[in-house]
Amino acid sequence: MSVEDKPVKPSTAPWYVEFFEEDYRAAYGSTLTEERSDAEAAFASWALDLSAGQEVLDLCCGHGRHALRLAAAGMKVTGQDLNGDYLAEARAAASEKGLSLELVQGDMREIPFSGRFDAVINMFSAFGYLESEAEDQKALEAVHGALKPGGAFLVDLINREWVITNFEEKDWRVDEDGTTILERRRLDLLSSRNYVSFSIIGSDGTRRESSGHRMRLYTLTEMAGMLGRAGLLLEKTFGDYDAGAYSINSRRMILAARKP
């Protein structure tokens, strides 16, 4: 069967605007199962010792898969994301489930709340997107400003050490609906950025090229320093959603910090 190519449309938008319009779901949607979302939300609640009635901000909430679960557990949840379509989807899901969910569209560097939240969560590698370390630092400073004194912050990252140890230039998979995802990676060790692009081939042979994402991979040392400069104290590290220890071999680097 011949493959019909659908070229990438030229865009001047930042990659984190363009990629999340439709390519993110095509590339990763099949991996975001209900069971996975349940486990991640439960882990975040446990790691930060959250309880019903507390105010929680899900920063870069996407379509609300964690925010909805925390709201169902009785927390007062606000979701913030840059993508208005995802927020509309989260709003519709909250309405269908009879949940109260406040939703705000905005950049993670500009959280429009001051001293409001008992906790902020930032899940599934939603940190390291911005154009420089200085811009990433602004996001942490915004988190600090949004937290109450004593408030907690959970940031969930892919582990840089794991990426280096397990690096493969190319990979592919076939989803249940017959879609084939070809993934190409380029790791720049000088800038510590991982560049990932995709070819997405539908079961009907249509093909779409995605310029994908380019993410700054931070070490634990770097993250501890950045959190500290933002006024947040690192308290715990985890290597997975089962509260396993963080190590070179753990796929995730999940950090819990607190505003004094």
What is the third-level CATH fold of 29-158+218-258? Rossmann fold (3.40.50)
Residue type, 238: F
Torsion of CA 30, 35, 37, 38, to 10 degrees: 170
To the nearest 10 degrees (0 to 180), the angle between helices 34-47 and 65-72 is: 60
Domain boundaries, the chain: 4-28+162-216, 29-158+218-258
Q: How far is CA 200 from CA 66, 85, 164, 180, 187, in A?
A: 26, 21, 25, 6, 21
**For the chain, how are helix, strand and coil distributed in percent, rounded to 5?**
30, 30, 35
Q: Are 155 and 147 in contact (CB under 8 A)?
A: no
* pLDDT (tens place) for every residue of the chain, 260 residues total: 334 444 445 557 899 999 998 899 888 988 899 999 999 999 999 999 999 999 999 999 999 999 999 999 999 999 999 999 999 999 999 999 999 999 999 999 999 999 999 999 999 999 999 999 999 999 999 999 999 999 999 999 999 999 999 999 999 999 999 999 999 999 999 999 999 999 999 999 999 999 999 999 999 999 999 999 999 999 999 999 999 999 999 999 999 999 99
